[in-house]
Amino acid sequence: MDFLDEPFPDVSTYEDFHTIDWLREKSRDTDRHRKITSKSKESLWELIKSLLDAWSGWVVMLLIGLLSGTLAGVIDLAVDWMTDLKEGVCLSAFWYSHEQCCWTSNETTFDDRDKCPQWQKWAELMTGHAEGAGAYVLNYFLYILWALLFSFLAVSLVRVFAPYACGSGIPEIKTILSGFIIRGYLGKWTLLIKTVTLVLAVSSGLSLGKEGPLVHVACCCGNLFCSLFSKYSKNEGKRREVLSAAAAAGVSVAFGAPIGGVLFSLEEVSYYFPLKTLWRSFFAALVAAFTLRSINPFGNSRLVLFYVEYHTPWYMAELVPFILLGVFGGLWGTLFIRANIAWCRRRKTTQLGKYPVLEVIAVTGITAVLAYPNPYTRRSTSELISELFNDCGALESSQLCDYINNPNMSRPVDDIPDRPAGPGVYSALWQLALALIFKIVITIFTFGMKIPSGLFIPSMAVGAIAGRIVGIAVEQMAYHHHDWIIFKNWCRPGADCVTPGLYAMVGAAACLGGVTRMTVSLVVIMFELTGGLEYIVPLMAAAVTSKWVADAFGKEGIYESHILLNGYPYLDVRDEFTHRTLATDVMRPRRNDPPLAVLTQDSTTVEDVETLIKDTDYNGFPVVVSRESERLIGFVQRRDLTLAIKNARQKQDGVVSSSVVYFTEDAPQLPASNPQPLKLRRILNLSPFTVTDHTPMETVVDIFRKLGLRQCLVTRSGRLLGIITKKDVLRHMAQMMNQDPESIMFN
């Protein structure tokens, strides 16, 4: 009679936009594991299968590392080429970027590595004139045209093929990792389209970065490889372990910082991060980093995006400007989050949201028109950051390094004393100030449009510009006033005491920290960029200050704010719930509500159950001994119930509407005249989670968070009183924080 051999169908046991039950997933995996272990003793083949199963986790990590490293390399190369395509083309081979074109050229001299005859700007190629106002206007026009073309392609591809490919993806990945289901968000189409449109979006010159989307791309890779192994594809809990590791690999390739990637995954995105995942994440991050290094997209065999080496230590007094940069970062974070969320809410609620293509075109147009005239905004943002981070060496040709040289300088190349700024530096300062304002404003409108867009790079750019300006100011002050009391001790004339590049780096860390509220992973990423423990203290000081300042204005970082905006059911581990409410205040049914929909163990008919299923939309029903005693015996999932009754009606003779459903161990022997009973104990969860009505809500929140529950039953002295779902918990938390509880939309 127990025909339901597999009461839980293996795949898609959860509906779209629903929360998974971590405990159930875990126990399903233990069952599977137990089955394989016991089978492995039977034959050699089963033993091999069990070994393969045990190793599949590492294999998945290896594959994720390889694919995400490769994709990151391809993206880097393509972005390089297409960014340069906006300005000109390489005559010797049109698929070379500006740098590659001139590197392969023999006619380049060391002084002017950027200028070689093979590389021609569009105006030069089309009209033959490289200089002059006409050429400038033509180049300007073509720059805008290319930018519009790229962004139009990007937004169209996203709209048509994969709507989930837009944005940075990190808020959604955080939600998914916490146990939410969004089907297709990490699918093959999303992977393909996000990779292609990311290249287009970045190349179009918009104020956005590729770092966040790379995390999304890596997670898509993770999801892709999960489907190769039933261990991961059929278990939503195990799948999330893989995705956590994939996120680490994503950051690892985005910055070339494997340890930072692991800590980012741990600190920022992951929800359930057991030690095993820590080891595997580290492995995946390493493989990804080394794959990327083998592809060598930056052509310098460096792993990292912005490699810097500084030669001078920092001094205690410099902590003051560093902390000020931290304050600036915190303020920028607050401003950005508030303004961006307000704009995104406007997009969601007004007509604006209906014209995503137009919006992207308009923003691209404005960006291109304003960016071209300023050399610091014309180039790609990562090049800009790279230049701002750099220390001015002796051979530097950049405008930012236009210092007035001491004629009798005879120092080694590495150690250049502080010098007065030349006219180039002053004009650079003006341009940087304009670039700062431009970046601040345009980024607010860019992040959240319907194209792939990360905000690591724009945030870092804002911070790096501000930092470099402060750095140059301090440097000039120290040079011209080295007899001031604060400079006296550490800055003798002729010494190299201020490194403006370090200020840029500190500023970048501060701004990134203000927006995302990362601390440890941020500092570790920055530390991996420089490779010197020396500068951890300045970075830490700025990151912590920025976090404190930003937290004073609002606890949520940009990702949490977007999660809230979208109403995802995300139970943040960082929110401390400190209110004095009890489970009885939160549970349903409330006072005056109809009583809780329950089933009894031996007195409900098939018809009653079907009516209950039709009339309600709950995910499951508690089963009690009888309506009078209200003693709880278990919990049954709506899905299982529907399936079981459907099956029974089709396949089991004698099950009719008036059949009694039994959840007891043994159905009584009924006279033959009664309809055949339906025994459903197999689908009954005999260990539902319960708390008493007096349990403080802080404990309930803790239990939901740590055990990953979907719902929890409330009892008083053994009597069932009500139920609390994750949505109830989140709504209660929102209410307690004076937010709109209706903003939590999913279950």
Q: Give the footprint of its own copies on this chain (CB under 8 A).
A: 23, 26-27, 30, 33-34, 37, 258-259, 262, 266-267, 274-275, 278-279, 282-283, 286, 289-290, 303, 519-520, 523-524, 527-528, 531-533, 536-537, 540, 544, 573-574, 576, 578-580, 583, 625, 629, 631-634, 686-688, 690-692, 694-696, 698-699, 702-703, 706-707, 715-719
Q: Which is nearer to its own copies, 31 or 607 (CB)?
A: 31
Determine how many CB atoms are found less than 10 A away from the CB of residue 418. 22
Smallest gap from residue 180 Cβ to its own copies (A): 20
Structure tokens at 560: 């949490």
Q: How far is the CB of 27 from its own copies (least distance, A)?
A: 6
Tell me the closest approach of the beta carbon of residue 692 to its own copies, in angstroms: 5
What backbone torsions phi and psi does residue 17 show, to the nearest 5 degrees?
60, 40
Which amino acid is it at 717? S
Beta bridge partners of 263: none
- Shortest Cβ 622–its own copies spacing (Å): 11
665 token code pair: 């161990």
Q: Specify the residue, 411 or 719, whose C-beta has the smaller distance to its own copies.
A: 719
* Residue with smaller CB distance to its own copies, 117 or 274: 274
Q: Least separation, in Å, of the C-beta of 608 and its own copies?
A: 21
Minimum distance from residue 92 beta carbon to its own copies (Å)? 32
Instruction: Give SS3 for 322.
Output: helix
Answer for the pair 717, 690: CB distance below 8 angstroms, yes or no.
no
Task: State how far the Cα of 537 lies from the Cα of 535, in Å rounded to an integer.
Answer: 5
Alpha carbons 363 and 367: distance in angstroms, whole number? 6
String of DSSP letters for 179-205 = TB--TTTTSHHHHHHHHHHHHHHHHTT
Q: How far is CA 159 from CA 163, 167, 176, 608, in A?
A: 5, 12, 22, 45
Radius of gyration of the chain (CA): 30
Kindly compute the dihedral angle of the four CA atoms of residues 459, 462, 463, 468, in this order, to the nearest 10 degrees. 150
Closest contact distance (angstroms) between CB of 281 and its own copies is 9
**DSSP H stretches of helix in 661-741:** 697-707, 726-736
Q: Enter the tokens of residue 16.
A: 């779209």
Backbone angles phi and psi of 299, in degrees to 5: 70, 15
Contacts for 677 with CB less than 8 Å, ≥ 6 apart: 659, 660, 661, 662, 667, 670
Nearer to its own copies, 221 or 632 (CB): 632
Question: C-beta of 270: minimal distance to its own copies in Å?
Answer: 11
CB half-sphere exposure, 634, CA atoms < 13 A: 17
If the CB atoms of residues 131 and 702 are measured against its own copies, the closer one turns out to be: 702
Q: CA 428, 429, 431 angle in degrees (round to 5)?
A: 65
Q: In the chain, what is the straight-line distance between the N-terminal and C-terminal CA atoms, in Å?
A: 35
Q: Which two tokens stand for residue 81?
A: 């080429």
Of the pair 686, 737, the CB lying nearest its own copies is at: 686
- Per-residue DSSP letters for 670-722? --TTSPPPEE-GGGEES---EEETTSBHHHHHHHHHHHT-SEEEEEETTEEEE
269 closest CA partner among 227, 212, 344:
212
Instruction: Quickly count: other Cβ atoms within 10 Å of residue 131's Cβ.
Output: 10
Residue closer to its own copies (CB basis): 198 or 287? 287
Choice between 425 and 563, CB closer to its own copies: 563
Q: Provide the minimum distance between the beta carbon of 410 and its own copies in the complex, in angstroms, as a whole number.
A: 22
From CA 377, how far away is CA 367, in angstroms rounded? Answer: 9
Q: Residue 582, CB half-sphere, CA atoms under 13 Å: how many?
A: 10
Nearer to its own copies among residue 282 and residue 372 (C-beta):
282
**Least distance CB 235 / its own copies (angstroms):** 15
Identify whether the C-beta of residue 511 lies closer than 8 Å to the C-beta of residue 503: no
The distance of closest approach from Cβ of residue 557 to its own copies in the complex, given in angstroms and rounded to an integer, is 12
Beta carbons of 269 and 574 less than 8 angstroms apart: no
Q: Please list, in sequence order, all residues whose beta carbon lies within 8 angstroms of the beta carbon of residue 14, skipping any fewer than 6 positions away.
A: 20, 181, 236
How distant is the alpha carbon of residue 312 from its chain centre? 35
**What's the min distance (Å) between Cβ of 402 and its own copies?**
33
- Interior CA angle at 373 toward 370 and 377, to 5°? 70
Buried residues in 595-607 as b, exposed as e (16+ CB within 10 A): ebebbbbeebbbe
**Sign of the four-CA dihedral 728, 734, 735, 739:** negative
Question: Nearest approach, Cβ of 33 to its own copies (angstroms)?
Answer: 6
Q: Which residues contact 64 (CB under 8 A, 6 or more apart)?
A: 218, 221, 222, 225, 242, 245, 246, 249, 284, 287, 288
Q: How far is the CB of 275 from its own copies (least distance, A)?
A: 6
Measured from the CB atom, the residue of 107 and 576 that comes closer to its own copies is 576
**Minimum CB distance to its own copies, residue 717 (Å):** 4
Q: How far is the CB of 139 from its own copies (least distance, A)?
A: 40
| Token pair for 664 | 């007891």
DSSP element (H, E) containing 685 = strand 684-685
Nearer to its own copies, 28 or 562 (CB): 28
- Which of 344, 523 has the CB closer to its own copies? 523
Q: Pairing state of beta strands 632-637 and 684-685?
A: antiparallel
| 404 versus 707: smaller Cβ distance to its own copies | 707
Q: Quick one: CA dihedral 564, 570, 573, 577, positive or negative?
A: positive
Residue placing its CB nearer to its own copies in the complex, 342 or 707: 707
Minimum distance from residue 472 beta carbon to its own copies (Å): 28
Three-class SS state of 307: coil
Comparison of 85 and 632: residue with beta carbon closer to its own copies: 632
Q: Between 607 and 702, whose beta carbon lies closer to its own copies? A: 702
Give the nearer residue to its own copies in terms of CB position, either 13 or 281. Answer: 281
Nearer to its own copies, 661 or 720 (CB): 720
- Give least dist CB 373 to its own copies, A: 39
